[in-house]
Amino acid sequence: MAENFASIFETEKDKVNCSFYFKIGACRHGDRCPRLHNKPTFSQTILLPNLYRNPQNTDQTADGSHCHVSDVEVQEHYDNFFKEVFTELQEKYGEIEDMNVCDNLGDHLMGNVYVKSCKLVP
């Protein structure tokens, strides 16, 4: 019985725990999700939700139409954002092993920044 539970725990077959939340720390259903969102008590990875805003997805003029932002400008904006956030976090909290920035249109992922530290974060 324990082996069966272990094989389905926080997978798609688990009807109690949200496997999507377990994998990435965010769920498209948010608080309306019928499954449990188990938050770890400690982790090497922190989530900074909705921190990055892609200028192609957010720039609008006063009349509501979208501004055209070139791919070069978008890449430059991203590079500056990444460097600034990475540097600031590393100066304040120590060495960073990895940092991922989501550029996704799903509300539950849009602009999420995942930072993995070399030491455990309580």
Question: Can you list the domains of the chain with their CATH numbers?
Answer: 1-39 (no CATH), 40-122 (3.30.70.330)
**Of 2, 11, 69, 56, which Cα lies nearest the Cα of 35?**
11
Q: What pLDDT band is residue 85 in, cutting at 50, 70 and 90?
A: very high
CA distances from 14 to 5, 29, 55 (A): 9, 16, 38
Give the mean pLDDT of the chain: 78
pLDDT in tens, 12-28: 567 788 877 877 777 87
CA distance 82 to 99: 9
Among 25-29, 77-81, 105-109, the least confident range: 105-109
pLDDT at residue 49, rounded to an integer: 87
Residue 80 predicted with pLDDT over 90: yes
Q: Has residue 107 got a pLDDT over 70?
A: no
Q: Is 64 left (phi over 0), alpha (psi -120 to 50) or beta?
A: left
